[in-house]
Structures are given as structure tokens and as C-alpha cells.
Amino acid sequence: MSLAGYRIRVQRRASVPGWKAALFSVLAILFGLILFSLIFIQAKQNPLEVYRQIFRYAFFNEYGLGLTINRFIFLAFASYAFIIPFRAGLWNIGMPGQLYLGALAAFGVVYAFGGKSGQVSIASGPLIVLMVVAAMVAGALVGGIAGFLRGKWNVNEIVVTMMLNFILFYLVSFMIKDGGPFMNLGGRGESFELPDAARAPLIAGYPYTLVLVFLFMIALQVLFARMSLGYQIRAFGQSPPAARYAGIKPFRISVLVFLLGGALAGLAGYHYFAAVPGVYKIARTYGYFGDLSFYGLICGLISLGNPIAALFMALLFGGLSIGGRYAQGKLHLGFGVDFALMGVLMISLVAFQFFYHYQITFSRVPKSRALAD
């Protein structure tokens, strides 16, 4: 393409260094924010003021920051649930289903010890450990179905995880709504509340699951950078035929990554319904958190499967979901502005991935050449 004497060309680039990838993400976020200002201008608001409100509440307001951190933890687990299969070239979009069953399993443990009545026949420590283990095992089992089918018969994992989401959504409904075993006696269409013994301890006012996020970040980093298993997952993700030739067993990798991914999604479910202060029950709007977990997928994709970079994305989207909702109420903006903003940012980030693979070059067309044409 030529423009005003310049030739503009799009060229494939061989690779992009980490700092450049980070720079593109920052530029993408700025671009998305600028683009979305149009919506605020149209609503007769000063965009700078709106963004100030959003970010101030999300990150600098004591109450808002607490909410942001809760969302951050949730999104971090959800993005790790996506990243592990993603590094093996497989797509886990079953975080909702996995976290639903994870939450049900955690509540199931409490139920088994008589917790529905408000008292449990077990000490708090072991109970919480059992809840976490149950949530992870349950999530892993849901994920494992997709991994097994994929590894054994090459059934598409996207379809399987997607469909399981629907099944498990209604399973939760069955369990907590009228007549379900986990039904809240108040009949509000939500689950029973966790007794005090089952509520997760707080560290400096934040759920202890925050510590788990960083432990898993280190674990994943070590897995992929240092361990033989991580190497095998990456090799399989890059080239299944080459991995097979090297003796890596496709079935084993498929099942393993989905078990691990599912376990982390289960943990996300545990976190939001059993560890976030003030919740401690499977809320009536549990579907909202299923949808929110897809932002974990976005975080994983944008960070190209890097467990550290994914945390920055999780913090950003966690903060925006909280700050956006706050600004919407405070400034009387239209309904759904928070999700629209996150959507625009997401699309902008995805679109900017173009620059990971291509670069645009400008060169002056020589005069003589232009004439020769």
C-alpha cells in the first residue's frame, strides 16, 4: 500500500521480546480506555473524571481495594485454570462448570459434617483443609472428563468443557434452590450459610487464598521453566507430532493438564463462595461468577500463558469490574457500563496481539521508481 509517497508494509516478525510484549499491552489498554471515553463523552461525562473515579475506588479506596483483591484472586485462579491446558495447546473454557462443582464439593464437605444447621462436628482447621481438597478434586474431575475424551478419542475439548458448563450450572441450581439439599432455609434461592468454623481465615483483612495465588504462581513458573513435566506440556503444545516422536504420551498430557486446570478452577469456586468476607454461601447470582471466570481466559491469553504476566491482567480486570460498577452507580451511567468497558479493553488487547506477530514499516518510495511504474 502506498500513501503520500510512502510505502507501508506489514511484515511478519520472528519473535517479540518480553518488554515489547508488555509495552504493547500497556498501549492496548490506553487505546481501549481512549476509545471507551467516547461512551462517557456521549453520556456527558468527563472521561478523565470517570477513569479517576474508577481507578481511585478500585485501587486506592480501602473498601474498594478489598473487593478488587477478592476479584483478583478469583481471576488469578481462573486464568491459571486456563493457562495450564493452554500451554499444552488445549483450550479449557470450562472454568464455570469446574468452579461450580468445586464450590458444591466444598459445601458438600460442610454439609457432611452437619454444617447446614450452623454447627459442625469437626475442628475448623481440618474442615477448611478438607473443603479446599474437595473443591480441587471436584474441579479436577470435571476438567478430567474433557482431558480424557480429548486424549482417548480426540473429542474436541472446547465443546466438551462448554457443554459441561451448562450441565453443572443447573446442578448448582438443583442443589441450592427450593427443595435442594443445600437450600437456604430462608428460601432465598441460595445455599445455606457456612458456619463460622468453615469460614476461611483472613490475613491482614484479606482471604488467605491470596497467599495460595502467589504459591501457585511460583509453582507454575517452576513447572514450566524447570521441570520435565512442564517441558513435556510445552513441547506438546508447540507441536503434537514432534512431542509424540520424542516419546511424550499425548493421552497422559491431555488428562494431566485438564486435571490440574480443573483443580485450579475448583479453587476459584472455593475462594469466592467460602473465603470472601461477607459471602460465605453460594449466592443466587452464582452464574455471574461463572461468566466472570471467562475473564481469566482473557488474562491467560493476553499474557501468552505467562503465569506472572497473567496476575497483572487479573488485577486490572478485577479492579475494573469493581471500579466500573462503582462509577456506574455514582455517576448514574447506563446499566452494564462496567462490563462494556471490560469488553472494549479485552477486544483492544486481543487486537493488539497483531503486533506480537507483525510489524508495520514505512519506507519512502524513490522518485524515479514511482515514475517507472
Whose Cβ is closer to another protein: residue 152's or residue 244's?
244
Does residue 368 bind another protein (CB under 8 A)? no
Taking the C-alpha atoms of residue 266 and residue 99, their distance in angstroms, rounded to an integer, is 4
Query: Nearer Cβ to another protein, position 55 or 356?
Result: 356
Please, are residues 68 and 315 in contact by the beta-carbon 8 Å criterion? yes
The H or E element spanning position 74 is helix 62-87
Contact 105, 191 (CB under 8 A): no
Closest CB to another protein among residues 188, 244: 244
Is residue 11 a contact point for another protein (CB under 8 A)? yes
Measured CA to CA, the distance from residue 147 to residue 151 in angstroms comes to 6
Determine the 3-state secondary structure of 207 from DSSP. strand
Q: Site map for another protein, 215-234, x if CB under 8 A?
A: -----------xxxx-xx-x
CB of 1 to another protein, least distance (A): 11
Contact stretch for another protein (CB under 8 A) within 11-19, 107-115, 284-292, 347-355: 11-19
Please say which residue, 85 or 319, places its beta carbon nearer to another protein: 85
10: contact with another protein by CB under 8 A? no
Select 285 or 361, whichever has its Cβ closest to another protein: 361
Verify binding: residue 23, another protein, rule CB under 8 A.
no
Structural contact between residues 82 and 297, judged by C-beta atoms closer than 8 angstroms: yes
235 binds another protein (CB under 8 A): yes
The three three-digit cell numbers of residue 212, written as one number = 495460595
Cβ distance to another protein smaller for residue 41 or 225: 225
Q: Select 12 or 332, whichever has its Cβ closest to another protein.
A: 12
The minimum distance between CB 283 and another protein, in angstroms, equals 40
Task: Indicate the SS3 state at residue 89.
Answer: coil
User: CB of 91 within 8 A of CB of 157?
Assistant: yes
**111: phi then psi, degrees, rounded to nearest 5:** -60, -45
Residue 295 CB partners (closer than 8 Å, separation 6+): 75, 78, 314, 317, 321, 342, 346
Among positions 124, 221, 353, 359, the unique one binding another protein when judged by CB under 8 A: 359
Out of 42, 247, 362, 368, name the contact with another protein by CB under 8 A: 247
Calculate the CA 244 to chain-centre distance.
Answer: 30
Q: Is 88 in the site for another protein (CB under 8 A)?
A: no
Q: Which is nearer to another protein, 26 or 222 (CB)?
A: 222
Do residues 196 and 190 touch, judged by C-beta distance below 8 A? Answer: no
Residue 186 near another protein by CB under 8 A? no
Q: Does 285 bind another protein (CB under 8 A)?
A: no
Residue with cell 478419542: 153
Contact call for residue 248 and another protein (CB under 8 A): yes
Q: How far apart are CA 342 and CA 345, in angstroms?
A: 5
Terminal Cα distance for the chain, rounded: 14
Nearest approach, Cβ of 354 to another protein (angstroms)?
A: 15
Q: Out of 246, 308, 351, 360, point to the residue binding another protein (CB under 8 A).
A: 246
Neighbouring C-beta atoms of residue 42, cutoff 10 Å: 9
Q: What is the DSSP letter of 117?
A: G
Q: Under the criterion CB under 8 A, does residue 306 sit at the interface with another protein? A: no
Site residues (CB under 8 A) for another protein?
11-15, 226-229, 231-232, 234-235, 238-239, 241-249, 359, 372-373
